[in-house]
Amino acid sequence: MKKVKKIMPYVVVTVLLLIVVAMAYVSWALPNVGKPEELKVDITPARVAHGKYLAMHVNVCIDCHSTRDWTIFAAPIDTTQQGGGGELFDASAGFPGKVYSSNITPGNLKNWTDGEILRAFTCGVKKDGSAIFPLMPWPYYSKMDREDAYDIIAYIRSLAPQEKSYEKRKLDFPLNFIVNTMPAKATFGKRPAESDTVKYGEYLVQNAACRECHTQNDKGTPLPGMDLAGGMEFKLPGITVRTANITPDKTDGIGQWTKEQFVQAFKKYKAKDYKPQAVAPGEFQTVMPWTMYAGMKVSDLEAIYTYLKTIKPVKNQVVKFDKRAEAE
């Protein structure tokens, strides 16, 4: 027993040293995804146009990298400051820290190379080598076609410059260390032919990061058997909202939806007679950027529908929202 008592202080010190070394390694040696590529994207009208379509209506980069008006249903962006960042994610929304979306206009990225921009949104590493928390769904973007990624870069370069900056992010412990382990090298794929509707629809679902919101997770790991079954929670002023089940389950999902109904669910937000609806705190709201996705081509929405109809139906009845005590 005496020997144990003598040894214990050394064991404790050793364990503490190992923890310190591990934390130092995670802080200083990670992330490690390699240097940014030597890359120069040709800024052609065609690239800019397609990049705009992707950034506005498929990948919806501009949605998060602009401020949203949460007093209007679906929280449309401030179109006068596209890409200027400033959307806040903090404890009030259930986020473990405080993060502002960054300014991705040339006003902030003028000193970034195209390779550094590519590495940021496909690997999760900034120009300075620091890790990007996957609020930006770079794990999904990392599998996109290079040409699509290049088009997005071309469009970002064309945005009106805005000279805006925000306070440095603050992540709660231990997430402030764990975040450094998250970045990974991109595994670029190939955009399928649009005629291969199922594969092309799957590609669009990936680029739109539908699973990011429509699949419940435990600390970032998708729950088994719940692929695209909805139920992920988001805190908004006075309410908790949950994402929809978009599997082809006939009771809880979109199994009884027609292709036309699916397309119309998006396109109604672009209809000439659509009038933005005011939303007060405590009233039903959604995190789904309907007004952004409404700009997607009908053929692309149809491809997404076709793919979703092929996935496994999951029974998961979702209650869209609940009022929280502070709203009462």
Give 48-93 as a DSSP string.
HHHHHHIIIIIS-HHHHTS-B-TTBTT--B-GGGTT----EE-GGG
Question: What ranges in 208-256 are assigned the alpha helix state H?
Answer: 210-214
305 to each of 38, 143, 182, 251, how far by Cα in Å? 38, 21, 31, 17
Judged against a pLDDT cut of 80, whether residue 4 lies above it is answered with no
pLDDT for 244-260, tens place per residue? 999 999 999 999 999 99
pLDDT for 274-288, tens place per residue? 999 999 988 999 999
The letter for the amino acid at 53 is Y
Q: Report the alpha-carbon distance of residue 41 to residue 118 in Å, rounded.
A: 10
Q: Which residues contact 124 (CB under 8 A, 6 or more apart)?
A: 31, 33, 131, 132, 134, 136, 138, 139, 182, 183, 184
- The pLDDT of 140-155, averaged and rounded, is 98
Query: Looking at per-residue confidence, does 29 or 85 come out higher?
Result: 85
pLDDT band at 95 (very low <50, low <70, confident <90, very high): confident
**What secondary structure letter does DSSP report for 317?**
-
Token pair in block for residue 207: 């680029």
Assess contact for 132 and 124: CB atoms under 8 A: yes
Judged against a pLDDT cut of 50, whether residue 228 lies above it is answered with yes
> What mean pLDDT value characterizes the chain?
90
pLDDT, position 51:
98
pLDDT, position 5:
54
- The pLDDT of 294-302, averaged and rounded, is 98
pLDDT, position 14:
41
Judged against a pLDDT cut of 50, whether residue 24 lies above it is answered with no
Least confident range of 17-21, 60-64, 78-82, 219-223? 17-21
Q: Which residues contact 96 (CB under 8 A, 6 or more apart)?
A: 171, 172, 175
Token pair in block for residue 175: 């997430």
pLDDT band at 170 (very low <50, low <70, confident <90, very high): very high
Assess contact for 84 and 119: CB atoms under 8 A: no
pLDDT, position 153:
98
Return the residue matching tokens 């310190």.
Answer: 20
Query: Looking at per-residue confidence, does 12 or 43 come out higher?
Result: 43
Q: Report the alpha-carbon distance of residue 52 to residue 172 in Å, rounded.
A: 34
pLDDT, position 9:
52
The letter for the amino acid at 70 is W
Judged against a pLDDT cut of 60, whether residue 12 lies above it is answered with no
